[in-house]
Structure 1
């Protein structure tokens, strides 16, 4: 998982959305990309968060070409504030059935 959180002051918000948005489709069709999304944080109105999920780290690294890096650096420069960049390795994934297990456990504690 790769994530980039960047502050988008009102005066450059449209330009930041356009800049970060330009990497979405090329990333989405890249080999190994599971998903890529650009979010606006509702709690912190000026924060934009780009999140990419990859099958393998090597596929993520191959996707970091000059064009994408230039777009990301350009977005950071527009923001004028340091970004929060994270690369997280996911060891195990679980789905919605985990919620059912927790719900069953919570129901048994209530009784």
Structure 2
């Protein structure tokens, strides 16, 4: 899976999951992502910043990525997932691959429970 596809899908899945949970919570007083008033140092420690008067949560990524090139392969950067399968399939190819870790955070504003 390409890095951009993984990051995009992960962020969409998070937002859709929160929205889905908000629609399912029917208990009195319970809310998924309730409105949070003005910012405080305590919330900043939890990875919550402020953007446009709303709480922006930092979604942190810590990914292992591979870059490969060689004959019989398509070059590019992809996210490591699943189990690496090594073996013979009757095809021979030459490939150079390197694995690296990247870490970054993306601020997103979750859907507000009061608007669900």
TM-score (normalised: structure 1): 0.26
Larger Rg: 2
More helix by share: 1
RCO comparison, higher one (Cα < 8 Å, 6+) = 1
More strand by share: 2
